[in-house]
A and B are shown apart, each in its own frame.
Chain A
Amino acid sequence: MNRAFQIVLVAALAPFSAAAAQGTLSTQGFGYPPGQLSTRARATGGAISEFDADSPVNPAAIALSGEPRMFLAYEPEFRRITSGSNTSNTTTARFPVFSASVPFFSHSSIGISASTFLDRSAATSITREQEVAGTISTVTETTRFLGALNDLRLAFGWAPSQKFQVGLGVHAYTGQNRVFFSQSFPDSLKFASISQTTTLGFRGYAGSAGILVRPSRNIGFAISGRKGQKIETRGDSSAVSEANVPDRVGVAIAYEGIPGSSISVHAAKEMWSSLNGLGSSNATAVDAWEGGFGVESLGPRVIGRQTVLRLGSRYRTLPFLAAGEEVKELSFAGGIGAQFFRNRANFDVTLERAGRKVNGNVDAKERAYILSFGLRVRP
């Protein structure tokens, strides 16, 4: 085998690198799942998400929207990652949920929504020693990930009676992950810097269905599910990898027997392992359980406005393993909401504190404060 052929062979066989460098517990793999929760649902630990028309979880929830409505949430997350004696503080700004619905004939509504399914926003910068042609040099590697996998849903909800709602949804998964990678050396005469930009697009589909049952005025039950279809990542106009959108099933119970208050619990399981194969072997997804508990109650009048107070807690496991270990997230939240403009606008604020950790000997933990601002209008 001649030299030139050997070189070409080496280049051809050079492995493509996976960009598994997000550097946090929560943004491993394809990223962090904000949960597709409205500001109100986030404050109750996600417990009312199955009943909430603004959270694109259960399509049956929009059935009783008697008039057009729109909702937009803005959620900055202030995260601190600690590993050994090293600490990093980050700020991630998200618009995780937009939803809108309009009545459709009598007792039914159709709605659209766009929500963040997995947010991969992260950046790392490390400096290390690298041997290059016999010379040890300092190299600074910076990797920056921007973008998310988003869930676009078209939903139809029908309420034949006040006690029963049913809904169907079709989902399209779109979005981009842009990866910026650079290697730079201090001696620019000897070494040339490397800069690579990669854009990864998503294309996937799923269907969802849900039911709400209210056998009495004091209690409600909800169940919803999502059946995932194929999802693929695309590079320059060609598919890079494919897997399935995770199936999901969720149930919830709401008790409204105390005047002015609502107590809810929910549980859900998301089959994230369906995403295995969409990324490299470094991005291992595992099925995850989620459970939440929340209370919503009328609060005091402030500046002449009736307020609603909310408290909740949520526990879940995150979809992607970090250093081979499952990431657990426990969060506590509180929020307040009020109506404005002759009750045609609702403004909600939620503060959630989330702690994330892993089992085993992985010396890393994460704590985050998520502020959620939600505006709902009924034009």
Chain B
Amino acid sequence: MKSNSGRVRLTGLAILTAIIAAACTEKLDNSAGCPILCPDQGGQIETVTLDAVTFDSTVSALTGQGTELELLLATRGDTLDSRAIIRFDTIPDRYRRPGADTTSIEVTTVDSAFLRLRVDTVGGKVPATLSLDLYDVNSDAADTAVSAIASLFTPERLITSALFAKSELKDTINIAIPGQAILARKGGRMRIGIRARAPESVQLRLLSQEGAGSPSILSYRVSPDTTIAKVVLAPSSRTPVNQPILANSFADYTLLVKGTATGPASQLNIGGLPARRVYMRFNLPAFITDSVDVVRATLLLTQQPNIGLDPGDTILIIPNVGLAANSVTDVAKAAQIAATVNTDTLKVTPSGSGLKTLELANVIALWRAQKITDTPRALILVTTLEGTSPLEARFYPIEAAPELRPRLRISYSARKSTGLP
């Protein structure tokens, strides 16, 4: 009888505990009563369009030579000529046999030499067949001396020419190189200039050291004995001396022999070669950043058509947020000090015209956190293929008529809850 009583107590206690535990978890959502019982929920969203851009300018992208993620090969008649340079500054002149023998042997023969390249034809102009001409551009001229190096692309310096069908240009290609060309540079440096050639316009890109891990490789055998490993060389540069970062960039780089025509200085030009970007400084009313919640912010740009190169191709423009402090007075330099932000991408064609919009709501959120007395509110408009695409979009600047100049359209909620019902 006593044990039955205990069981009843335990059962009762367990049920009670279960009820209390279940009731401890609050679930408050009662949306079924809306909107009848919750009429004043969100408040209105107001929209204003402001002439908030106080300064704009087209500036050079100033991307350091050799820092590009891809190397542009383009032969577009008299409108664009872009080539690639790949340097191998240490060509070994001796080799060792495998095993304990440490005796080195002079390289006297080179066989099975190949230059491996990785190609990117997306957005390119690739005809049915094209040739890649490889030149020996070894010179004492500085890498920045474009004319001097371009002049080395002569028939006498031609190493080899490789013909490719369009279908063969998939990811990785190998170009056979005469062993004599390497032997001629053993113990020294070998600099290979690459130029694309076709009966018509040709344009494609090669992946660079900065864009991919060792995309270009020079390999060859120094002996018919297959137990002796192949020589495999990645691009490298020893100059400028004592400037390792710069030297590393010059392991491969684009040699822009002839760039695209830029738009007039009275316009905002984004893209092209050499690459240009647009710097814009903004002045927002204090209530936008201090008092209201911005729901949407849109930069209104009016495009002017550019009927130059590839007017119908698509160019993607993204806004970067300027981080340069007020102490940076050089606009060109200020335009380089920027951070990317997860926001909208403006997709246009160079030949496009009319009103274009770029969403900036996330930028406004960043600007709220910026102390304007230290850092001006600035945007830098850049193309996603800056420095590797000739496409250029042009827009009206702030000097244009009111309906054409850049403006900022802001939608905000002025709702400020006091907490009162």
Verify if B371 is at the interface (C-beta below 8 Å from A): no
**What separation, in Å, do the CA atoms of A322 and B33 have in the docked complex?**
10
A190 pairs with B421, CB closer than 8 A: no
Asked whether, in the complex, the Cβ of B365 is within 8 Å of the Cβ of A192, the reply is yes
| Contact B36 A24, beta carbon cutoff 8 Å | no
Question: Which of B32, B292, B297, B420 is A81 in contact with, Cβ under 8 Å?
Answer: B32
CB–CB B42/A24 < 8 A: no
A258: Cβ under 8 A from any B Cβ? no
Residue of A nearest to B40 (CB): A20
Q: What number of B residues sit within 8 Å (CB to CB) of A?
A: 63
Asked if residues B36 and A92 are in contact (CB atoms below 8 Å), the reply is no
Per the bound structure, the CA–CA distance linking A4 and B284 in Å amounts to 10
**In the complex, which of the residues B32, B46, B48, B343 has the most CB atoms of chain A within 10 Å of its own CB atom?**
B32
Contact status B39-A190, CB under 8 Å: no
Interface locus among A9-17, A49-57, A60-68, A308-316: A9-17
User: A194 near B293 (CB under 8 angstroms)?
Assistant: yes
CB distance from B398 to the nearest CB of A (A): 15
Contacts of B359 in A (CB 8 A): 189-190
C-alpha gap A199/B418 in the complex (Å)? 8
Among A11, A123, A189, A320, contact of B343 (Cβ-Cβ < 8 Å):
A189
Tell me, yes or no, whether B344 is within 8 Å of chain A by CB: yes
A192-B295, A194-B293 known; A74+B20 contact, CB < 8 A: yes
Given contacts A124-B38, A126-B34, contact A14 B295 (CB under 8 A): no
Which residues of A have CB within 8 Å of B51?
3
Docked CA distance A76–B291 (Å): 40
B175 at the interface (CB under 8 A from A): no
Kindly state whether residue B41 has any CB partner on chain A within 8 Å. yes
Which residues from chain B contact A7 at a C-beta distance below 8 Å?
48, 50, 285, 287
A11 in contact with B292 (CB, 8 Å): yes
Is the pair B38, A23 in contact by a Cβ cutoff of 8 Å? Answer: yes
| Cβ-defined partner of B421 (8 Å) among A87, A139, A178, A283 | A283
For residue A143, CB closer than 8 A to chain B, the reply is yes
Distance of A92 Cα from B30 Cα, bound (Å): 11
A19 close to B413 (CB less than 8 A) = no
- Once A8-B285, A11-B291, A79-B30 are accepted as A-B contacts, the answer to whether A18 and B418 lie under 8 Å apart by CB is yes
Q: How far is the CA of A363 from the CA of B33 in the complex (A)?
A: 9
Chain A residue numbers with a CB within 8 Å of B361 are: 189-192
Cross-chain contact of B417 among A17, A132, A364 (Cβ < 8 A)? A17
User: Are the C-beta atoms of B38 and A191 separated by less than 8 Å?
Assistant: no
Which chain B positions have C-beta within 8 A of A122? 28, 30
Contact A364 B37, beta carbon cutoff 8 Å: yes
Does B23 count as interface, using CB distance less than 8 angstroms?
yes
Q: Which of A8, A132, A200 has the most CB of B within 10 A?
A: A132
**B416 with A14: CB separation less than 8 A:** yes
In the complex with contacts A8-B285, A8-B287, A74-B20, A23-B30 CB distance below 8 A: yes
Listed in ascending order, the chain A residues whose CB lies under 8 Å from chain B are 3-4, 7-8, 10-12, 14-25, 28-30, 74, 76, 78-79, 81-83, 86-93, 120-126, 130-133, 135, 139, 141, 143-145, 177-179, 181, 183, 185, 188-192, 194, 196, 198-200, 233, 235, 240-241, 278-280, 282-283, 303-304, 320, 322-323, 349, 362-364, 371, 373
User: 29 A–B contact pairs at CB < 8 A?
Assistant: A4-B285, A8-B285, A14-B46, A14-B415, A16-B416, A20-B38, A24-B30, A74-B20, A76-B24, A81-B30, A88-B30, A91-B25, A92-B26, A124-B34, A125-B29, A125-B31, A126-B31, A133-B296, A139-B42, A177-B419, A189-B359, A190-B296, A190-B359, A191-B361, A194-B413, A303-B5, A323-B37, A364-B33, A364-B37
Ranked nearest first, the 10 interchain pairs of A and B with the lowest CB-CB distance are: A76-B23, A14-B414, A200-B419, A21-B38, A88-B32, A86-B32, A11-B287, A198-B419, A123-B28, A192-B361
